[in-house]
Structure 1
Amino acid sequence: MTDEVPVHDTAALTHHIEARYHARHRRQLPALADLSERVETVHADDPRAPAGLAAILRRMIGEMEVHMKKEELILFPALRAGGLRGVENPIAAMRADHDHHENDLAEIRRITGGPTLPPDACGSWTRLYARLEEFIADLEAHIRLENDILFPRFEPQGAA
């Protein structure tokens, strides 16, 4: 698969988002939550440990799955059909979800200090933060594609 994003073709863009971002988030989040639980347990006495990170990631698994299913089953088919009447309502709901996801990312950054590793971090902690940085970058890129490129095509001017 190429990293070139088909920004000018709505159908191709929605398929790209599903294949590149939805599929990846479904792989990333459970693995991150498992790894975070391990790090939190092993380093429970270390005040630098990311206490509470696994709980946020576990909650995000469910919330993002619902969000992605709504896009895949309802919103994206409507956009591929040219934007059916009333499509601005599910778009507004997706934007609200995106705001919530961004708040989750801000909380993840707070808990992990960036994420910033302590100098003596173990291999699991190091892997967790590296994968977490990748997830954060992926989710931010995903949200930007939808909020800044895809959704404005189907919203009244000035609504975005």
Structure 2
Amino acid sequence: MNTRIESSDIEDPDTPSLIAHIVQRYHEAHRRELPELVRLSSRVEAVHRDHPSVPGGLADALERLSGDLGSHMAKEEAALFPLMLDGGHPMIAHPIAQMRHEHDDHGAAIGEIREICRGFVLPADACRSWRALYAGAEKLVVDLAEHVRLENGILFPRFEAPVGL
């Protein structure tokens, strides 16, 4: 089932529906999938440490992203989203700016993961674990990019003052 909100599905999702979608589709998926990707990456790096295409450092990059993203999502769910669901607050621009800054950091992490995985191009002799790792890591970066796009491009602007007024 496709749970992604697209303009063809919903012209302009209301804020509660959009927040629920972000939490259910992205936050829950990141929390569920990242620990397995870290574990799988550690195993691939250990087993194939002498392979010239081993994604060395991927487990560490995923572990850092997991920590950063976990903290980020907790702040959104505990503070920012409740403010939005209550209609906003005069000082909401500050936490939104912080979330945008952290989204930039997530973008840098995506770039690092893509680089370590060489654009998710597998060596011809990659084992099933390596294939599963790259499939999962590629899904993560696609999901995270869409997650950030929904927040930065649709949700946050609803609570930011128009420029020039």
* TM-score normalised by structure 2 residue count: 0.92
Residue 126 in 1 paired to residue 131 in 2?
Answer: yes
Unaligned 5+ segments in structure 1 are none
Counterpart residue type for residue 36 of structure 1: S
CA distance in 2, matches of 1:141, 1:112: 20
Is 2:23 the counterpart of 1:14? no
**Equivalent residue number for residue 42 of structure 1:** 47
CA contact (8 A) 2:16 2:85 kept: yes
Pairs aligned (count): 159
Counterpart residue identity of residue 145, structure 1: L
Distance 1:150 1:138, change over 3 A: same
- Equivalent residue, structure 2, for 1:3: 3
State the SS of the aligned residue for 1:8: coil
Match of 1:76 in 2: 81
Computed over aligned residues only, the root mean square deviation of the Cα atoms, in angstroms, reads 1.4
CA separation in 2, counterparts of 1:14 and 1:26? 16
Q: Which runs of 5+ in 2 are unaligned?
A: none
1:61 match: 66
1:154 aligned partner, one-letter code: F
Q: What's the secondary structure of 1:114's corresponding residue?
A: helix
Counterpart amino acid of 2:132?
R
2:137 aligned partner, one-letter code: L
Q: How far 1:158 moved relative to its partner?
A: 3.8
Segments of 4+ in structure 1 off by > 4 A? none
Q: TM-score, normalised by structure 1?
A: 0.95
C-alpha change, 1:31 and 1:157, in structure 2 (3 Å) is same
Structure 2 CA distance for aligned equivalents of residues 132 and 84 of structure 1: 37
Find the aligned partners of 1:27 and 1:55 in 2 and give their Cα distance: 18
1:70-98 CA distance string (max 9 Å, x none): 00010000011111111010000000110
User: What does residue 112 of structure 1 align with?
Assistant: 117
The amino acid across from 2:34 in the alignment is: L
Matched residue type, 1:89: H
**Contact 2:72–2:99 (8 Å) recurs in 1:** yes
